[in-house]
Amino acid sequence: MNAADSAFRVCPTTGLKVHKDADALIKANAVVATVALLVGGIAAILVLLTRWQAVHLLSDVMFYRWLTIHGMNMLIFFILFFEMAVLYFASAVLLNCRVAGPKFAWAAFVLMVAGAGLVEWTTFTGRADVLFTSYVPLRAHPAFYLGVILFAVGAIIVTTIFFSTLVIAKRERTYTGSVPLVTFGAITAAIIAAITLLHGAAIYIPTFLWSVGVMNVDPQIYRLVWWGLGHSSQQINVAAMVSIWYLLGALTAGAVVLNEKISRTAFVLYILFISMASAHHLLVDPGFGPSWKIVNTSYFMYMAVLASMLHGFTVPAGIEMGMRLRGFTEGIFGWLRRAPWGDPGFSALCLSVVVFGFVGGITGVTFGTEQINIIAHNTLRIPGHFHATVVSGTAMAFMGITYYVIPLIFRKKVAFYGMARWQPYVFAIGMLIFSLSMTFVGTFGVPRRHYDISFAGAPFGVEFSPATDLMMGLMAIGGLIAALGGGMYILITVWSVFFGAPLGADCTDKALRGSVPPGVYARPFMELPKTEVELKEHGRLGVAPGTMVLVFVFLVAFVVYYFANWKLLSDTWQIG
């Protein structure tokens, strides 16, 4: 070992050696991510209470401002700071090695915080009421674009450090064989991040120059390149989320990986096809022809969707197999009934898979169809879709892994553990009500990003169907429940990290039961049959009948929703 051993600590629970810089970097990024989540969450409640027409809390200016704040903090700062922590974890911790260039890592962290600070300052002071997408030629203060650029540069440095750390691990032989699947998933996320951030640079640097009056930016080109950033960055989330699915599956239920090759190929599909898929934001734009739209967007997108469906099958099937291997073999769903539903890591994982797939996946593929996009573009159906994917999917998975990060990285007991057991359910049920109501209300044509759909003061009155009022009310209630779940999460994590009881040296069941998730001390993955031969034999028997049934239900729901949308479309005026 080249590095001094004093730079490491040995994790008493898992026996992994943890580099102290990695430890500190993970903590720092996680803390900032939580702060962003708190700011974005407050913004969420304010925006929600304004769109709920019965309350209509904010003024129009404040509504659009808080909506901008909500988007930037949730979708950029919370998620990306968390993903930086995931990158350090998947490289240095999982591979037992030191972080490459810790000084650069800290510099990157400072850059990202500074960039985020500039963005917060410009938005809070009303210098950037341009919403998350900041479509040119809507104009924000140059410092807003500069902030985004600094943040992106910091993130690029972190991905570079991530790859360098992998090289170090390889060279210093801190692991044997190929990298673990979770690390492979993180590699996927990092590669997509690099592509995405280059798109970001390609658009935000010219836009910054435009904002100070040096050059011109074409609005359609902006939309094209911006979405190269905007949607690909969601694929970073998906890759990170799926990596966490595999990790949580193993930690909580002893899930096995059915077929490494399939899972890895699915990750590669993400890298290959996702940039093109970004173009589904431009399906009803004037700049592009139909063949470009169909081929470039939807067909390539289906390859990425195929990848998600593969993961959506292998993760639950892996859990089913793991449970069966550990003896829970009765019936089709015995494994599911006996699964550790009280473990917040496991419940978060399952809810994440289900809501992401059923709500986010189905709506996403349907809206990404060239013609159906006509009846979906920029309506509330779109935020309905992405709250199911990014919030109930990605954020939910991040929350689940946090309950393991607290004891394993921060070496603390999980505060209010009884509440933590409920938190994923509260959050997921809230988000489910929220995104379903949003999707339905969007079907009536209610626009997204809209201050007042009663149109008071507009030249013509517009009366939405009374059903929309009911649905908007439901949406608000669902949103508030989810916000409660988010608040619980923040309380638990902040309390655990800053005021929580440290985990003693005693790692037995007795010492830990009721204060950390059971996966930490029960370690179900240790109970699996060990030898290759044993595993292979089970693998060949390896049907996962329960998962097959679930997948069938999913496909039926998909087909019904897909064709219902073609029917809706055919009822409108003829157009095109």
Q: Is 547 helix (H, G, I), strand (E, B) or coil?
A: helix
CB nearer to another protein: pick between 138 and 543: 138
Q: Of 361, 370, 299, whose CA–CA distance to 569 is shortest? A: 370
Cα–Cα distance, 440 to 405 (Å, whole number)? 37
Tokens of 324: 């069966």
Residue pair 410/497 in contact by the 8 Å Cβ criterion: yes
Residue pair 94/17 in contact by the 8 Å Cβ criterion: no
Q: Does 570 bind another protein (CB under 8 A)?
A: yes
Tokens of 433: 């009500």
CB nearer to another protein: pick between 381 and 412: 381
For another protein, what does the binding mask look like between residues 441 and 460, x meaning CB under 8 A? --xxx-xxxxxxx-x-xxxx
Cα–Cα distance, 6 to 217 (Å, whole number)? 53
Task: Report CA Rg, the chain.
Answer: 23
Cα–Cα distance, 250 to 244 (Å, whole number)? 10
Q: Which 183-242 positions form the footprint of another protein (CB under 8 A)?
A: 218-220, 223
User: Which helix H or strand E contains 22, and what residues bound it?
Assistant: helix 20-51
What is the smallest separation between the CB atom of 49 and another protein, expressed in angstroms?
A: 16
Q: Does 329 bind another protein (CB under 8 A)?
A: no
* 98, 231, 377, 387: which one binds another protein (CB under 8 A): 377
Binding segment for another protein (CB under 8 A), chosen from 72-80, 133-141, 154-162, 493-501, is: 133-141
**Token pair 């473990």 is at which residue?**
343
CB nearer to another protein: pick between 213 and 289: 289
* Residue 99 DSSP code: P
What is the smallest separation between the CB atom of 35 and another protein, expressed in angstroms?
A: 26
CB nearer to another protein: pick between 231 and 293: 293
Cα–Cα distance, 98 to 311 (Å, whole number)? 30
Q: Does 124 bind another protein (CB under 8 A)?
A: no
Q: Letter for the amino acid at 239?
A: A
For another protein, what does the binding mask look like between residues 536 and 565, x meaning CB under 8 A? -----------------------x--x---
Binding segment for another protein (CB under 8 A), chosen from 172-180, 374-382, 523-531, 534-542, is: 374-382
What is the smallest separation between the CB atom of 183 and another protein, expressed in angstroms?
A: 32
* Residue 379 DSSP code: B
What is the smallest separation between the CB atom of 184 and another protein, expressed in angstroms?
A: 28
Q: Does 314 bind another protein (CB under 8 A)?
A: no
Q: Does 508 bind another protein (CB under 8 A)?
A: no
What is the smallest separation between the CB atom of 131 and another protein, expressed in angstroms?
A: 5
* 1, 55, 110, 135: which one binds another protein (CB under 8 A): 135
* Residue 135 DSSP code: -
CB nearer to another protein: pick between 68 and 165: 68
- Tell me the angle at which helices 466-499 and 396-408 cross, rounded to the nearest 10 degrees: 10
* Residue 98 DSSP code: P
What is the smallest separation between the CB atom of 482 and another protein, expressed in angstroms?
A: 23
* 21, 129, 320, 343: which one binds another protein (CB under 8 A): 129
Q: Which 272-301 positions form the footprint of another protein (CB under 8 A)?
A: 282-290, 293-294, 298-299
* 155, 187, 242, 365: which one binds another protein (CB under 8 A): 365
* Residue 371 DSSP code: T
Cα–Cα distance, 455 to 332 (Å, whole number)? 53
Q: Does 375 bind another protein (CB under 8 A)?
A: yes
Measured at the CA of 469, the angle between CA 468 and CA 473, to 5 degrees, comes to 115
Residue pair 274/280 in contact by the 8 Å Cβ criterion: no
* 24, 370, 417, 538: which one binds another protein (CB under 8 A): 370
* 13, 14, 53, 378: which one binds another protein (CB under 8 A): 378
All residues at 6 or more sequence positions from 69 whose CB lies less than 8 Å from its CB, including other chains: 39, 40, 43, 120, 123, 124
For another protein, what does the binding mask look like between residues 389 and 428, x meaning CB under 8 A? ----------------------------------------
SS (H, E, C) 28-80: HHHHHHHHHHHHHHHHHHHHHHHHCCCCCCCCHHHHHHHHHHHHHHHHHHHHH
Scanning 409-459, the segments in alpha helix (DSSP H) are 417-443
Number of residues that bind another protein (CB under 8 A): 67
For another protein, what does the binding mask look like between residues 40 and 69, x meaning CB under 8 A? --------------------xx--x-----
Contact residues for another protein, defined by CB under 8 A: 60-61, 64, 129, 131, 133, 135, 137-138, 218-220, 223, 282-290, 293-294, 298-299, 302, 365, 369-371, 373-379, 443-445, 447-453, 455, 457-460, 462, 464-465, 559, 562, 566, 569-576
